Amino acid sequence: MSDSSGYGQGQPQQPQQQPYPYDPSASGFPQQPGYGAQPGQPIQPGGPIQPGYGGEHGGYPQPLAPKKTNGALIATVVAAVLVVGGGIAAAVVLTGKSNNPSPVADQSSRPPVATSGATGGASPSSASTSTGSGSLSIPASVSGMKLLDDSESKSAVSSMSTSLAGDKDLYPDPVIAAYNDGGGDNVTELFENQAIADLDSSTQSEFTSYDPSTVVSQLMTGAQISNAEDESTTASNGALSCGSRTVNSIDVVFCFWDDTTSFGGLEFFTSTSLSDDAAKADAIRAASEGS
């Protein structure tokens, strides 16, 4: 007789339970959302990984190559160096308080100052230039550098002009311009130049009592340039020096000059060599002076 109780036979097979959805942590605890994820949102296997703090691929964000030089920022940085460094250094030369142990104070060491009214180069008519001087001009182009006239260059020139205006004794009416070398419209050079003939008689007398090499040396010292090198210049009884330093993460090359007609500088935000920069600085000085 059959046993209807099922005793001795296998137990009825229970329906198989479906497993819980597998969590990658395999801990049984719900996984915490990554930084930036919303609580309660499921993390899909194989889905995109939440970015790390600050960047798309985790970790710190990757720097992007600038598409265009920030002219206003560069002008502010360089103008600050010129006024706080170069401007004060030149003022120190004028007041005779230079740390230079042997400044040249013999008027005979320097020919008479060129008279005001010299012309040359292109007409300084661009709105991106500052053209107070009646004896210096701003070239439209020189040595591959093209005069700029866009909003960025105007901002750079305005910033430089405002900064130099803080020292009216030394910069009563400088010419200032922004240039691009290599194509495009980003600012790669800033140019400023002051006619010595436009200084007042007292300042002019003090300024010209030092030979050009001493003035240029003090400008470099004031701008905290420790690697300055003397360069060749076509100016009669003039001096030219170039050096570099890092300003706000920008490697800037400074070239300063002084002669019987003007003193000034050209700052490079892109550079191939100091000798090339020096040649360009001397060329724009000569074009500005009309020599």
Question: So what's the pLDDT on residue 65?
Answer: 42
Section 133-137 average pLDDT: 79
Question: So what's the pLDDT on residue 95?
Answer: 53
Helical (H) or strand (E) element with 129: none
Give the span between the Cα atoms of 131 and 205, in whole angstroms. 24
Q: Residue 269 pLDDT > 70, yes or no? A: yes
Put simply, whether the predicted model's pTM sits higher than 0.75 gets the answer: no
Q: Which range among 122-126, 128-132, 255-259 shows the weakest confidence by mean pLDDT?
A: 122-126
Residue 61 lies in a domain: no
Residue 55 lies in a domain: no
Nearest to residue 185, comparing CAs of 275, 27, 71? Answer: 71
Mapped onto helix, strand or coil, the DSSP state of residue 189 is strand
Confidence of residue 107 (pLDDT cuts 50, 70, 90): very low
Domain extent, residue 165, equals 71-97+114-289
C-beta atoms surrounding 23 within 10 Å: 14
Residue 7 lies in a domain: no
Give the span between the Cα atoms of 174 and 190, in whole angstroms. 13
Nearest to residue 163, comparing CAs of 248, 93, 250, 76? Answer: 76
Give the span between the Cα atoms of 262 and 169, in whole angstroms. 14
66 or 290: which leads in pLDDT: 290
4 or 240: which leads in pLDDT: 240
- Give me the long-range contacts of 246-250 (CB less than 8 A, separation at least 24): 247/77, 247/78, 247/81, 248/73, 248/77, 250/74, 250/77
Q: Residue 156 pLDDT > 60, yes or no? A: yes
Residue 37 lies in a domain: no
Residue 255 lies in a domain: yes
Residue 88 lies in a domain: yes
Burial of 100 (0-12, 13-18, 19+ CB in 10 A): middle
Average pLDDT, the chain: 70
Question: So what's the pLDDT on residue 155?
Answer: 83
Sign of the dihedral through C-alpha 86, 90, 93, 95 = negative
Residue 52 lies in a domain: no
Q: Which range among 64-78, 183-197, 205-219, 243-257 shows the weakest confidence by mean pLDDT?
A: 64-78
Highest mean pLDDT among 17-26, 59-68, 267-276: 267-276
Q: Tell me the percentage of the chain whose pLDDT exceeds 70.
A: 54
Residue 259 lies in a domain: yes
Tokens coding 43: 């993390």
Total of domains in the chain: 1
121 or 128: which leads in pLDDT: 128
Q: Residue 208 pLDDT > 70, yes or no? A: yes
